[in-house]
Structure 1
Amino acid sequence: MNERREFGVKAVARADAGREGEQEDVFAFLARPESYARAGKAAVEAVRRIDTHGAVVFLAGDEVYKVKRAVRYSFMDFSTLERRHAVCEAEIVANRANAPALYLGVAPILRTPSGLALGADRQPAAEPPMVGPPGAKPPPEGEVVEWAVHMRRFDENATLDRLAERGALPKDMTARLADMVVHAHAAAPVAVEPASAIRNLGTYIARNAEGLASRPDLFPPEQVKAVKAASLAALDAQRGLLLSRAEAGFVRRCHGDMHLRNIALIDDAPVLFDAIEFDESIATVDILYDLAFLLMDLWDRDLHGIANGVMNRYLWARAEDADIAGLAALPLLLSIRAGVRAMVTAAALPHLAGEALATAEGEAQAYLALAGSFIAPVPARLLAIGGLSGTGKSTLAALLAPGFGRPVGAVHLRSDIERKNLLGTAETQHLPPEAYTSEVTARTYARLRHLAALALSAGQSVVVDAVHAKPAERAAIGEVAAHAGVPFDGLWLEAPLPVLEARVEARTGDASDADVGVVRAQSAYDVGAIDWQRLQTGGGPEEVAAAARALLDCGAVKT
């Protein structure tokens, strides 16, 4: 499932073919290098054209011009010049929150006495002016015959889907992606009529099933019916939760199309671009449904460790109980996203042939299978990992969580994170000694148990990572599992003191404040009788994780 491609012009529906034909002069003009010459700027050496179902994109030097196709589909209408102008303006507005440096303005293509010409950028009425390219001059006299979204160009090989295909995602991409989503959702405006977003989920389920049922040769009818039935049942079960989230402000005007192809690595930071602009209802969603597209795409690409890490870092950063409770709806949201991808992929099949057709058919079938796997019930369980500082609790928890419970893995709760969230401190900010009093520690452990209970109630498996030095602390976390009626496992990690000291000395950029002095003090603790399974962690992380999986009877996952 790692192959991705853009469907070319032959793979789009031929709606309004006549209007598309009227644009050919514009496309030919924008394909010529000399069209980009203007005062203070020479013609580019070459222009690269990219065709998609709804637009034609021209990469010209350090600039990009995107023209909407004159097409009309059931879900979007670009059939008139006025509509294309409006949707170009909407694209600028929708994307400037996340990628302000990329979206320069809306450029008119003008018919002048000397032929077609590019006009100077214009800004949406509600938008402040942006600085145009050096040497930009006022538009020549002429009639506007087309509009284009004008962007700064970035390295098209630096989109995250292409980096993933090459195995070139940076090691710290998990944290960067989570931060990107958190900031995007914080800036997203709260919906005025949020309940409509919940009603739309039922429409998406029905539309997915209808589209897939039209290809019984490709999608077994019983499989399509089973996914639809399970999705509708889940929607009925979670409707109250989703409506309460809508009333609480969790439905926002989001990106709406948050997958790896629409994220570029620019100056070492992931930048979210190409938001949904043609239909506000598609982008006005519960923030967890927005996040679900990214998680689904990562899971589909077998980047399970990153998917789980993004989910958990998102939860850590937002520190909202409602987000954990909202995970009850996550299987449904993931399944709908995968179903949409199955339907969209299948819709293009009549326009493909040969190897491309076979690949797309396999991709569409895999998306349907993925939708089924997301919605299938998986029993929750609770794992607690204890041990002194430096035994590798957080490292092991992060390695186990993706394969623990349902997709996209377990909620990972860290005492180091929750202590700092309680005290309103950044993850890597060092806390003073008074933050580690017995009273603050008791509050931290109570918070861990509260969040674990919330997640288990949402059907999500949980991995709790804390020292758990006291028998009462170990007993209390076990009681959370008993109260929730789920299986419980406890792992007690051990390693030689020199190993612990070396590990804490080597830490950088971590939530833990433990140093060598803390490790030596802990080594004198009377931890009482250990009734959890003991695990020696002197080896490497993967070796320790393999041993832990054998003890817990859970499989390895792909990262």
Structure 2
Amino acid sequence: MTNATLPPFIRHLLKPENYPHPAAPVQLVQTHISYVLLAGDFVYKFKKPVDFGFLDFTTLAKRRFFCEQEVVLNRRLCPDLYLGVVKVTDQQGNLALDGAGEAVEYGVKMRRMPEERMMARLLASDQCTTAMLDDIVAVLVPFYDAAAANAEIGAFGSAQAVAVNVLENFTQTATFVGSPALSRLQYDGINAYARAFLGHEEIFAARVAGGRVRDCHGDLYSANICLADRVYIYDCIEFNQRFRYCDVASDVAFLAMDLDCHGRQDLAMHFIGRFVEVSGDNGLATVLNFYKCYRAYVRGKIGLFTAAAPEVDAASRARCLEQARGYFVLAEGYANT
């Protein structure tokens, strides 16, 4: 996407002089659902007006509500990272950040983390250690212990409820089958594996009965973890409760899958082993592979969605498709295990 085709408020915020603090140089990062502006010591995140079925940001009121939810929910793990909701205002054609006039957009303001300490970067440079994973476990176990858990939340861990999340991915990616990223053989094989495992209702019922379904993070992987002066786990799912109300195993499986994806199966095994040891969740292994497959497929789907967005440039599109291909290969491997 060229600057000329970006929304006016994003074009406005790409100029460092339009911030109330030093911001140069401003960097724009896009996902399939967000515009993220890196501006000096701060990050501003704005939701795109999209509707994917599983999320709906199509109205200003909805985007404001989910910005508020994002701040509240992420302060559970990062109270000093999420600074609050900001607005872009328009007064007689003059846009401003938190200025006078009518609010035309809402976003989330965050404190910027040191990029060199992002977990994904540490993994890429082979600097991630078992001690770092132990530190992550030390944050996660008390988080899950304190997370909300009741009959309503527990119901999201049943086979029927999990099936809604898992099987919709196949519906949403059906039109991409046969593309370089997703073959018919992969699609059919992963689909069949998922449906067969979902038939074991007793496995899911045991997890619910054991109190393992809680208000979790929902998006727990290295892109959302910073290992700086302490462990920061941020950017949880705010847009749909059914992706956050899940088995703890689904949450930790995401990070384990991500470590596998980086070629660090050794770290994935250590992470899961340490988590089971500290949490006492000895039944986690019964569902781990299933949830790793689910998480890999979701990441592949997101890559397809991002690549298909008209505002994404050619280089980003190619990168997203290659990443999606890798995730589908990984999901296929789990399905064949």
Counterpart contact for 1:195–1:247, Cα < 8 Å:
no
Distance 1:48 1:357 in 2: 18
Instruction: Name the structure 2 match of 1:241.
Output: 203
Alpha-carbon distance change, 148 to 365 in structure 1, aligned in 2, over 3 angstroms: closer
Equivalent pair of 1:343/1:364 in contact (CA under 8 Å): yes
Of the three residues 171, 181, 186, the one matched with 1:223 is 186
In structure 2, the partner of 1:276 is: 237
Change (3 A) 1:91 1:360: closer
Give 1:46-445 correspondences, 5 Å limit: 46-112=25-91, 115-119=94-98, 141-170=100-129, 172-193=131-152, 194-198=154-158, 199-214=160-175, 215-218=177-180, 219-237=182-200, 239-267=201-229, 269-319=230-280, 323-350=281-308, 360-377=320-337
Contact 1:213 / 1:221 at 8 angstroms: preserved in 2? no
Aligned to 2:13: 30
How far apart are 1:82 and its partner, in Å? Answer: 0.6
Q: Deviations over 1:130-162 (max 9, x none)?
A: xxxxxxxxxx54222221111111123321111
Mapped contact 2:118–2:223 kept (Cα < 8 A): yes
User: Per-residue deviation at 1:229?
Assistant: 1.5
Cα distance, 1:171 vs structure 2: 5.5
Cα distance in 1 for partners of 2:69, 2:91 equals: 27
Which one-letter code corresponds to 1:311 in the other structure? I
Counterpart AA for 1:116: L
Is the 2:215–2:245 contact (alpha carbons within 8 Å) kept by the matching residues of 1?
yes
Give the SS at the match of 2:271: helix
* Whole-Å separation in 1 of the counterparts to 2:7 and 2:319: 30
Q: Is the 8 A contact 2:216 2:246 kept in 1?
A: yes
Distance 2:103 2:170 in 1: 42
Q: Which moved more, 1:204-213 or 1:84-93?
A: 204-213
Report deviation, 1:297. Answer: 0.5
Task: Look up the SS of the partner of 1:74 in the other structure.
Answer: coil
- Write the distance in 1 (CA, Å) between the matches of 2:251 and 2:97: 36
**8 A Cα contact 2:88 2:95, kept in partner:** yes
Instruction: Map 1:455-466; keep pairs closer than 5 Å.
Output: none
Report sequence identity in percent.
30
In structure 2, what residue type is equivalent to 1:234? F
Taking the aligned partners of 2:23 and 2:295, their CA distance within structure 1 comes to 40
Q: CA deviation at 1:47?
A: 1.9
Deviation for aligned residue 1:59:
1.8
Q: How does 1:468-479 map to 2 (within 5 A)?
A: none
Kept in 2: contact 1:111–1:143 (CA 8 A): yes
The change in CA–CA distance for 1:312 and 1:73 in structure 2 (over 3 A counts) is same
Cα 1:171–1:88 shift into 2, 3 Å: same
Quote how far apart the aligned CAs of 1:44 are. 3.5
Distance 1:88 1:362, change over 3 A: closer
CA distance in 1, matches of 2:27, 2:187: 40
SS across alignment from 1:324: coil
1:103 to 1:330, Cα distance in 2 relative to 1, 3 A: same
Comparing 47-56 with 353-362, greater Cα deviation is found at 353-362
1:217, distance to aligned residue in structure 2 (A): 4.3
Shift of 1:24: 2.4
- Give the TM-score, by structure 1 length: 0.55
- Deviation at residue 276 of structure 1 after TM alignment: 0.7
CA distance in 1 between partners of 2:191 and 2:33 (Å): 28
Paired residues of 2:189 and 2:335 also in contact (CA < 8 A): no
**Paired residues of 1:205 and 1:228 also in contact (CA < 8 A):** no
CA drift at 1:360: 4.3
SS at match of 2:284: helix
In the TM superposition, residue 355 of structure 1 has moved relative to its aligned partner by: 6.8
RMSD: 2.6
Shift of 1:291: 0.7
- Larger relative helix fraction: 2
**What SS does the aligned partner of 1:285 have?**
strand
Question: In structure 2, what residue type is equivalent to 1:318?
Answer: S
Displacement, 1:33? 1.8
Q: 2 CA distance for matches of 1:103 and 1:186?
A: 22
Aligned residues: 330
Looking at both structures, which has the greater relative contact order when contacts are Cα pairs under 8 Å and sequence separation is at least 6? 2
Q: How far is the alpha carbon of 1:64 from its aligned partner?
A: 1.7
- State the distance in 1 between where 2:286 and 2:235 align: 29
TM-score (norm 2): 0.88
Letter in 2 for 1:64: V
Tell me, yes or no, if the aligned pair for 1:235 and 1:332 is still in contact at 8 Å: no
Distance 1:355 1:60 in 2: 23
Taking the aligned partners of 1:43 and 1:367, their CA distance within structure 2 comes to: 38
In the superposition, relative to structure 1, how do residues 43 and 305 fare at CA in structure 2: closer, same or farther (>3 Å)?
closer
Change (3 A) 1:178 1:111: same
Cα-to-partner distance string for 1:252-273 (whole Å, 9 max, x where unaligned): 1111000100101221x22101
Larger radius of gyration, structure 1 or 2? 1
2:157/2:204 contact within 8 Å kept: no
Structure 2 unaligned spans of 5+: none
3-state secondary structure, aligned to 1:264: strand
Amino acid of the structure 2 residue aligned with 1:48: Q
| 1:240 CA drift (Å) | 1.5
